[in-house]
Structure formats: structure tokens, C-alpha cells
Amino acid sequence: MKTIVLTGASSGVGLDLLRALGGANTIINLSRRTPPEDAVSQAPGFIHIATDLADSSSVAAAIASVVERTPQGIDGLINCAAVQFTPQFTSDDFDSASIATEIAINLTSPAQLIHGLLVSLGQKPESFILNVNSGLGLVPKRESAIYCATKAGLDNLSRGLRAQLQGTGLQVGQAFLPLVDTPMTTGRGNGKLSSREVARQIIKGIERGVDDNDIGKAKLLRIVNRLSPSIASRIMQKAES
């Protein structure tokens, strides 16, 4: 049984990761809301630490709580939580106050959690960090400029950490997601992958030690972007992702 810290298990992909991993592992969830009772009941070692990932002091308190509860260390950290605000900068309903919130949840808190839990991760052999990313971290779209920027930043953070931690035995991976059927994408786009299938593929990538796990259409997007960035950009501007 492994001990895994997971953010955002109250809904979407995070919730399906909890459902898939909770039966055989101790899951420590960091989010403001507690996951649904049916998922919690199937995860006997489940621990919920109420955490506002937009607040660095709340994240610091969560880190301290995790360290206190796990003196033998943790086996994994999955940064899954994210928010996406869709108005464009030129829209009348764009709220500049949302910028700091989006950056904090999507980029700052993963970095803070990684740093704060690095010693705990180092106590276990073959431990891992998995940052859940998006195809929008590879090619941005017209909407959600801040979200796209945070995901591009998460990609660079992950690759930089991978270089820093080379030779330590600590795996730093990413999962690049396509459009997923979650509450965040309600009413947007077609051809969405189910969050359950995405969670399954994320876990498969962790088990195989994949550095950058491109899921669904993210695989094609990376290939097109490598061959012709301009075509990839046109595709993303036309897509409702």
C-alpha cells in the first residue's frame, strides 16, 4: 500500500483518480471540498485535509499536516487540481482579480507542494511526482490565456525539476490531457474523453514511468505542433477546447 497526496479529488479527474487508487492505497486529498461519500467509503485509508490551493498559507498548513501524519514519508504527489476562467481580456466580464487565483491554483500551489514535500518523497524508493497538464500547455487557444500560460509554466517547471532530480530515483512525470468531460468543461466542445478513462491512462503512465504521457488527442497535437506550429495553432483557435 502506497501513500499518495492528491489535489482536487472532490470532482472530475481527481475524483476518478481517488476511485481508482483509493481501494489499495492511502490517499491524502487536498481540496476545499470533501469528495462524495460513495468514493470516500471505498477508500479505507482516505484522509481529507481542507486546503485552499489559492492561498499559500493554507497550502503551507496542509504540507505541515501531511508531514506530521506521514513520518515514514510519502510515495507520490499528484497535482491534479486546476481552474480555468474563460473570458478573454477584451471581454466586459473579464475579472482581473481572477488572474492571481488561476496562477496560484494551477502553478504556484503545485510548485509549493513539490518543494514542501520533497523530503517526504525522498524517504521512499521509487517515489513520484505527477503534474496533470493539458494540451493547452503545448499550444494555447484564444480563450483562457492565463490558464494556457499556467499550463505552459507547469510544463517548464516539470522539465526543470526532472533535470534537477535526475539520479535521485524520484520520478517527475506529466499527463497532458485532451478535452475531458468534467464539471469544468460543461457546455464546451465535443468528443470529450471520460474522466474515468483519463484517470486510468494517468495511472498507467505513472506505473510505466512515462515522463510525458500524452492522452487522447494530446498525442496528435504534439505531433502536429512539432511538424508545423502554425497549423497546430490554427487547429486550437478553431477548436472549442
Q: Is pLDDT at 189 greater than 80 in this prediction?
A: no
> Mind spelling out the 3-state secondary structure of the chain?
CCEEEEECCCCHHHHHHHHHHCCCCEEEEEECCCCCHHHHHCCCCCEEEECCCCCHHHHHHHHHHHHHHCCCCCCEEEECCCCCCCCCCCCCCCCCHHHHHHHHHHHHHHHHHHHHHHHHHHCCCCCEEEEEEEHHHCCCCCCCHHHHHHHHHHHHHHHHHHHHCCCCCCEEEEEEECCEECHHHCCCCCCCEEHHHHHHHHHHHHHHCCCEEECCHHHHHHHHHHHCHHHHHHHHHHCCC
Residues 24 and 44: beta-carbon distance below 8 Å? no
Query: Quick one: what percent of the chain has pLDDT higher than 90?
Result: 89
pLDDT digits (tens, 9 = 90+) for 78-119: 999 999 998 899 999 999 999 999 999 999 999 999 999 999
> What is the average pLDDT value for the chain, to the nearest integer?
94
How far apart are the C-alpha atoms of 197 and 200, rounded to whole Å?
Answer: 5
pLDDT digits (tens, 9 = 90+) for 115-137: 999 999 999 999 999 999 999 99
Supply the pTM of this predicted model: 0.94
Q: Is pLDDT at 141 greater than 80 in this prediction?
A: yes
What amino acid occupies position 2? K
All domains of the chain in start order, with CATH:
3-238 (3.40.50.720)
Residue entry with cell 510515495: 75
